[in-house]
Structure formats: C-alpha cells, structure tokens
Structure 1
C-alpha cells in the first residue's frame, strides 16, 4: 500500500479506531476524519454517543497514538436537516424512522465520501460490520461474518459507485478480536462500551427529542379498535408504532391489543388483536438495487432484528410468501440472496391479509 492514501471515518469508538490502526499498518498514508454532528452526549454527561465531544477527543487521541493526521469537520447543520428533522417529521406522519440509514445515505456515505475524494484518497474505510466481496461484476455487499454484529440492514441504500470506493475491514471479524487488536496496539478505547442508542437520543427518549423539534407533537387523539369502538385517548402519535403492545393504557380486554395503524391526518391510533397485524404485501419507495442481474425470489428483512422472510418483488410492491407481522411504514425492506445484500427500499404502506373476521374493517 506504499504510495496509497486511505481516509478512515473515526467516530471515537473501538471499531473505527481499529480500522485506522489496520490502515496505518499497511504502510499507506492514513487520514482520520471525524464529523461533529450533534453534541448531546456531552451535554448530558454521557459517554457512548457517537457524535459527542468526548468521542471526538477519543478519536484525536487514537490518531495521535497511531501518528496519523486527524481532522474534524462540523456537519451539525447538515445532520440537523437531513437526519434529525426527517426523524421528527416521520414520527409526526405516523411512521417509524431509521435515522441511522438516513445518516449513512447522506452525511457519511455522501459528504464524508466526497471529502475523502477531495483529499485524494484511494478509498474510504469505516468500522461497519459488513463485508465487501469482489464478484464477477464488481464489488458486492455481504453480511458480516458475525451475525450478532451484522449491520447490512442499515447500509441497503449504499450505491454501486459508493461500494466500489468503500472498505469494511471488520466485516470478517468477531467483536472480541477487534478489542484484542485495540488492546495489543495500546489504544485507550480498547474497552470503551459500544454505543447502544441513536446518537442524538442517548437516553432513549425519542418522544422528548421529537417534542423539542416539533412542539405540536403532543396533540392528542382517539384510540380506536379496528371494529370501530373508541377505546380511549392517546397523548400523541409519537408514542406509538405499528406492532406496539405495551403502553396503550387500555385495560380489561379479553385479548392483548396491538397498534395496527396510525392515521396522522386524524391523529387516530388503531388497535386490534395480533392477527390484524398480518400483511400480505408492502409498497416501497426509493428502491436501491445493487444486486446486478439477480432474478428470482428474495429473502427480505422488514426490521433490523427480524429474521429474513421469503418474498418476490414486482415493480415497487413486495409480496410476502407468508403473512408478515409488525411491518411498519417508515422502516426499510432489505433484500438478500443468502449473505449478499441486493438492495432495499422504504416501506410506504402495507396490504393487509384478507381475513373473514376483518371484512369491512379499514386496516
């Protein structure tokens, strides 16, 4: 790698720090870049938020230890517009957003990639747990070797052009091995805890963040059973998502009730039995395809933690082979062929499974 230049996206965590160390070890000129996106972690005194001030200091300390250049770029306004505002608006529209995908699509794999090219780098390396495999027609995106760490669901919107330029050195490693490398190289972040939350929601209170961005988020409305019975009132759509069971504050029912649908226009939350969550299809928008010439039935994940299910894609409509439960507008449907990521799209709406007892009900 002598004569080559590698830019590494450094968040201040152990994963990206090890990527920087591995890049420097190759003999290539290595440059670390950290994007300052949102400093809420520092404001609440919590370590572990990837955009917090402490993490920037950790990234700089690792770069100093490795003897590589390190730059911090302020992209807070861009992050606010392309990630946080979208997050709030999606909740206000009755959908369940995935801000990490929006961040990868924009700030990380667009802005950071452009910065890397401007610096004359031969590639951009990140600490994501996915594998980049060279196939007959170019680079392919595959699941990580360690299923527990796999992040491929969140990278479905990666384009073929971006994939050719990106590198994911950790995709074939289990996390303990990554920490061992960090410890061997004397990196202070070797045992730093993983960030478990969305970076700008470090305490897990999504509703609080949405209320701050959109004060009208607390508008109340009716909770309605899908049979038309008004069950009570809610304190804002932002507290609910499709498939939710807890927190409905509806007692005395013969069977558990789940959130079936949200209507942002009328501010109504529709609830019903678990069977009513079953959907036969999903209409997608903004489909990204990186599967080359692949044709045939797909394996699809409709939530990051869901097991893959079989489906076929016809135009922008995904047809499930078996009823799928808890499919929420705003989430992503990600396509796979075994371990290879073929692409994915955003779930716009769902088609309910026809059931005798649901005849006439608007679900």
Structure 2
C-alpha cells in the first residue's frame, strides 16, 4: 500500500535512535528534516547531529532553547528539590520542550509531524477516537512512563518509528545502513547534570544552599543533623553522614519543619499514595474507581492498584505495599500496554504533603 508522503521533523541528537528513526522515515518515502536543540551551557553539541544529518542527506535546523529550557526544566527541577521533592525532569522536558516548543518550531518549519526515537507505540482508539500511547515492544527500553503527560494534540502530531523494535534490532538496522551512530553509547539519564551530583548542581544553578536541620525518627525524636534537604531523597541509605549502628533510610522529608525523617527498611513501605497534576490519555477523566497497573517511578515494575478520584487528586490503593513512594516522582497508570494517564506524587510513607497541594 502506498504511504502518503509527509514532511516530518526528526528530533536529532546524533545517537543511534534518532538517526535510525530518520532513516526509516526516509525509506518510507517521507520528506525528512532534522531539528536539534541546544538546551544548556555545555550541553548538546550539534556536531553529532550534524554528522548524522549529513550522512542521511537531510537539512538540520539547530535551535537555541537555553532560555526556555532553564525556565521550564532547570529552575523547576531545582525548586522542587528545595521543597523536599525528587522530580523527574524528563517528564517535564517531554511535555514542555520536545513536544511543546520543539513541536511548535517544527510545525513552523512546515513539518506535519515531529518524530523522536522514543521506544513507544502510538495508535487511535477506534471507539473513543482518542490517541493512545502504548508501551514499546522492547520492555527494557520502554519510555511510555515519561510521555504520560502529553496532550491529545501533542500525540496527534507525534511519530515514534522505533516502537515496534528492540534496541538491538535498531542497532542492527543502523549497522545495515552503515550509520556512524550505530554503536553510539546510551545517553545519560539527566542531560544537564553530567556528573550526577544533583546537590552541587542545584547550589550552583540557584546560587544558594539549603539549610541544615534535624534527622528525626517517626516519633519526632532528634537523632542527628542533616546537611540540607537538597542532599536527600526518599529511600536513600548512603550519604546520610551519620552512623546509627544499623541500616537507616530516608522515609520522609518535611520541608516545613526542615526535617529528614529516618526509618528502617520495613518503614519505607506503604500501600497508598495520592497524586495531583493529573493528565489522562486513554480517557477524558476519572469518574469512579478504576483497576489499573501503576508504576511509581521510571524503573519500577507495574503493580496492581485501584484509583479513586478525590477532588483534584487521585488516591492510588495498591494490592501490595510499595517501597519508597516519593513526592515529586510521577505515578503512571496502565491498562495492559496502554497508558491511561498519570500524575505527580504528593505523598510518602507519612501521608499527604499538604505543602504540595494546589488550591482548586
């Protein structure tokens, strides 16, 4: 069957995923252009993207997004840590930057779609007419978790050419096409923090540290001093700076009292969480209890749960307790391979963080 020719902008990093995605679209007869973004000082050098574009013989547009990336991603990331949260900047970047500003720029360049190298699949629900995102064929590389916050309009203008391939198949496709990116290394998790020293990066970016305070147990008894909230996340064991004669973990962070609450391993488990900033993909809204599989972080296994709408929140009741529920992370809901939607966690072992709730 002849495929309608479209103009497609491919988000190019110069790596194997985006390069192969562009090559596949070319071979399907589409007009392909490359778009690459500069997001931060010392960040993505366009050299690799230019090399890939030249090899594929497609034009490349280099877009300076440093200002908007700082406003929408970096500042939000840092401020979240000061509030005692552990954010996932990739979720925000996909919604605001890649499928926000980059999609807008791609459309201005005349592209019908923006394609990326995400390992997810896109389809339409024939009954509801809603666009759906489903997990990629490669379970180890599936990236549906970080795309749960996309709108119907964003999904409608997105293409994911790699969703039906495994990573090794993609590398083989690239090798067969003699793409120089075929054996390129995997990209790091947070692109703007190359050494993974979050606290130092936040101090430098925001020009301030967080104040030292108390380690306490669940009863409020002071058991030590912490260095500042930005140094800690729920579930953390190493780097506490204090020894207790037994393994102790961060169980909760209290920014109002500037406390870090510690507990033992079993103290990290809870069978309930609350989430806000909800976005629904497969349904218009949650109108009543709904059985789902829920992931509380990117690398977590999906767990059986029931969703309950509560004003502007959703309560997630798990069949089995989950370890280290962390405010700031996203919880994403699935029905089999289909992403139903998700939201931002505003509770931990100690319950709802009232300081994180937004007025209705």
TM-score (norm. length: structure 1): 0.89
Instruction: State whether residues 35 and 61 of structure 2, in contact with CA within 8 Å, keep that contact through their aligned partners in structure 1.
Output: yes
- 1:159 CA displacement: 1.3
Counterpart of 2:96 (choices 102, 106, 109) is: 106
- For residues 144-223 of structure 1, the aligned pairs below 5 Å read 144-223=136-215
Instruction: State whether residues 36 and 74 of structure 1, in contact with CA within 8 Å, keep that contact through their aligned partners in structure 2.
Output: yes
Q: SS of the residue aligned with 1:216?
A: coil
**Aligned residue in 2 for 1:327:** 325
Structure 2 CA distance for aligned equivalents of residues 350 and 228 of structure 1: 16
**Aligned residue in 2 for 1:273:** 264
- 1:134 CA displacement: 3.2
**Aligned residue in 2 for 1:305:** 299
Instruction: State whether residues 36 and 63 of structure 2, in contact with CA within 8 Å, keep that contact through their aligned partners in structure 1.
Output: yes
Supply the RMSD in Å over aligned alpha carbons. Answer: 1.8
Instruction: State whether residues 305 and 318 of structure 2, in contact with CA within 8 Å, keep that contact through their aligned partners in structure 1.
Output: yes
Instruction: Confirm or deny that 1:117 pairs with 2:107.
Output: yes
**Aligned residue in 2 for 1:28:** 30
Which shifted more, 131-140 or 341-350? 131-140
Structure 2 CA distance for aligned equivalents of residues 252 and 244 of structure 1: 14
- 1:119 CA displacement: 2.2
Unaligned runs of 5+ in 2: 352-360
Runs of 4+ residues over 4 Å off in structure 1 = none
Structure 2 CA distance for aligned equivalents of residues 352 and 93 of structure 1: 16
| Cα gap change, 1:139 to 1:218, in 2 (>3 Å) | closer
- 1:262 CA displacement: 0.9
- 1:333 CA displacement: 0.5
- 1:280 CA displacement: 3.2
Instruction: State whether residues 290 and 308 of structure 2, in contact with CA within 8 Å, keep that contact through their aligned partners in structure 1.
Output: no
Structure 1 CA distance for aligned equivalents of residues 97 and 83 of structure 2: 23
Structure 1 CA distance for aligned equivalents of residues 55 and 161 of structure 2: 20
Q: SS of the residue aligned with 1:22?
A: helix
Structure 2 CA distance for aligned equivalents of residues 231 and 105 of structure 1: 41
Instruction: State whether residues 231 and 250 of structure 1, in contact with CA within 8 Å, keep that contact through their aligned partners in structure 2.
Output: no
- 1:352 CA displacement: 4.5
Instruction: State whether residues 7 and 32 of structure 1, in contact with CA within 8 Å, keep that contact through their aligned partners in structure 2.
Output: yes
**Aligned residue in 2 for 1:91:** 81
**Aligned residue in 2 for 1:70:** 60
Instruction: Confirm or deny that 1:134 pairs with 2:124.
Output: yes
Structure 2 CA distance for aligned equivalents of residues 65 and 132 of structure 1: 28
- 1:218 CA displacement: 4.1
Structure 2 CA distance for aligned equivalents of residues 351 and 243 of structure 1: 10
Structure 1 CA distance for aligned equivalents of residues 4 and 60 of structure 2: 19
